[in-house]
Amino acid sequence: MQTVDVGELAVSAYRTVAYEETARRNAGEESFRDGDFVFVHDPQPAAILSFADKANAKRVWRWYLDTSQPQPETWDYVAKFVDGAGRPDRRLPRRFPRDGKERTIMTTRRWHGGQLRWNTESQAWSILAPGRQDRPHVSGRAGCPFCPGPGEDTPPETWRLPDGDGWLVRTVPNRYALSDRHEIVIESPRHDWDLSTATVAEAAAVLSAWQTRHRELRAGAAQIAVFRNHGPAAGISLAHPHSQIAGLPVLSESARRNLEVTREHHARTGRRLAEDLLAVELSTGSRIVSADEEIVAFSPFSGTANYEVWFVPRTPAADFAAAPRSTVDALARALRTVLAALRGELSDPAYNLVVHTAPTGYEDAPFAAWSVRLAPRLEIAAGLELATGIPVVTVAPETAAARLRARIAPSLVS
């Protein structure tokens, strides 16, 4: 019989098809059909009974589940093949100590010099990375490891976009990485370069670097995080303009939740949720910051930060890394336009710029949609936010959008 390791099975279209096809072939084996009962050992063959003529035969289930590295997405997928006792609940891993009192296991997973820790209360991962404390903090050109010249000090580059004898954009491994697939995108040789003052071609070059390295790093990763921090309040330690790309071995809780919500919406309506949200924003109009034939930038109706802006393609697609050149150029134009307006309105505030895109294996999902989201760091989360997880926004998105529009030349807003 052929085997497929369910423990390494990411819940993605092509892998689940391969797993189920293997189970279907194994169910047709003559040695399987001739038995009077079925003995299922471990989760790997769980799907066989769904395809076998002996589906009603007596069976014995003997499973050894490694709970040291929980994979809720894989368990949710495999659980549908387990019948008889109904759909099992996803339970916390537990063991009984000598005193007989049940206690929850504190689950850890060693990972790239630190640990992934599973929060049994929130059902989400956190990262323990003590090595990040050693990051250098440099604001000026003196001592900057990213500036070309005698002081340049980076690991060997992984990719570059040439510019004559020099380079326009280059990528290097992150010395203080959060994963074994964590790179720095050095966005310009110039220490004083910025997205808000860049040319469209320069901004597009950075976005193209994000796409290229995204495609390269996602092999073996559950999801890719692409982000840009600007200003100390946003988390930068080096002032030289740069962004980061990191491949994570697990799905974040927000990514899992987004998959659930968007998949349910698509199953119910036949449309992407992003498509319907954009239609509402275009119809309302009061939260639109800028728009052209490719990209719409708007302040979300229910955001998480003052002056938050989402950049959304008019034609929704799951995979940012596969966006065509025309869309990338339009996004570059929209980013520099809105960032320049934000800089003028709020005197160059700190911000985080994040790419939201489909996790690995969902690049062709008909319900997923990528976007780029800008979150200025103007206030610190206080007691209510920490107690409830509910963000407090003090500037109405309609007001923020109107102020940003006023900063943009009328010819750039349609």
In a domain, 298, yes or no: yes
In a domain, 153, yes or no: yes
Rounded CA separation 296/275 (Å) = 12
In SS3 terms, 226-292 reads as EEEEECHHHCCCECCCEEEEEEECCCCHHHHHHHHHHHHHHHHHCCCHHHHHHHHHHHHCCCEEEEC
Rounded CA separation 334/319 (Å) = 19
Residue 31, C-beta contacts closer than 8 angstroms, at least 6 positions apart: none
Structure tokens at 182: 């964590």
What was the pLDDT predicted at 5? 44
Query: Would you say 171 and 160 are in contact if contact means Cβ atoms under 8 Å apart?
Result: yes
* Whether 86 and 151 share a structural domain: no
Structure tokens at 32: 């399987």
Q: Which residue has the higher pLDDT, 72 or 252?
A: 252
What was the pLDDT predicted at 411? 43
What was the pLDDT predicted at 10? 42
**Residue listed under structure tokens 């109009």:** 285
* Whether 257 and 374 share a structural domain: yes
* Whether 51 and 140 share a structural domain: no
Percent of the chain at pLDDT exceeding 90: 59
Percent of the chain at pLDDT exceeding 70: 74
Q: Mean per-residue pLDDT for 185-199? A: 96
Structure tokens at 248: 């994570």
- Residue 236 CA, chain-centre distance (Å), reads 20
Q: Of 62, 95, 128, which residue constitutes the final position of a domain?
A: 95
Tens of pLDDT, residue by residue over 101-150, are 545 556 777 777 788 888 888 888 899 998 888 888 888 889 999 999 98
**DSSP code at position 68:** S
Tens of pLDDT, residue by residue over 215-264, are 999 988 999 999 999 999 999 999 999 999 999 988 999 999 999 999 99
Residue 84, C-beta contacts closer than 8 angstroms, at least 6 positions apart: 59
**What residue type is assigned to position 260 of the chain?**
E
Q: Tell which residue, 309, 320, 171, 310, has the closest CA to residue 242.
A: 171
pLDDT above 60: residue 72: yes
**Phi, psi at 125, each rounded to 5°:** -90, 150
Query: Would you say 107 and 67 are in contact if contact means Cβ atoms under 8 Å apart?
Result: yes
pLDDT above 90: residue 168: yes
Query: Would you say 19 and 6 are in contact if contact means Cβ atoms under 8 Å apart?
Result: yes
What confidence category does residue 40 fall into, taking pLDDT thresholds of 50, 70 and 90? low
Residue 12, C-beta contacts closer than 8 angstroms, at least 6 positions apart: 360, 361, 362
* Whether 80 and 144 share a structural domain: no
Q: Which domain holds residue 272?
A: 136-412
Q: Mean per-residue pLDDT for 27-48? A: 65
Q: Tell which residue, 306, 275, 290, 300, has the closest CA to residue 378.
A: 306
| Phi-psi category of residue 137: left, alpha or beta, with phi > 0 → left and psi -120 to 50 → alpha | beta
Query: Would you say 332 and 300 are in contact if contact means Cβ atoms under 8 Å apart?
Result: no
The H-or-E segment that residue 210 falls in is: helix 200-217
**What residue type is assigned to position 348 of the chain?**
D
Tens of pLDDT, residue by residue over 374-405, are 999 999 989 999 999 899 999 999 999 999 99
Mean pLDDT (the chain) is 84
Q: How many domains does the structure of the chain reveal? A: 2
- Any idea what the CATH number is for the domain that residue 83 is in? 3.40.50.2000
What was the pLDDT predicted at 201? 97
Rounded CA separation 363/386 (Å) = 33
Structure tokens at 358: 């489909």
What was the pLDDT predicted at 28? 65
In a domain, 334, yes or no: yes
In a domain, 116, yes or no: no
* Whether 86 and 169 share a structural domain: no
pLDDT above 70: residue 42: no
Global confidence as pTM:
0.77
* Whether 150 and 210 share a structural domain: yes
In a domain, 105, yes or no: no
First to last CA, the chain: 61
**What residue type is assigned to position 101 of the chain?**
K
Structure tokens at 150: 């005698």
Cβ count near 68 (within 10 Å): 12
The H-or-E segment that residue 159 falls in is: strand 159-163
In a domain, 120, yes or no: no
What confidence category does residue 96 fall into, taking pLDDT thresholds of 50, 70 and 90? very low
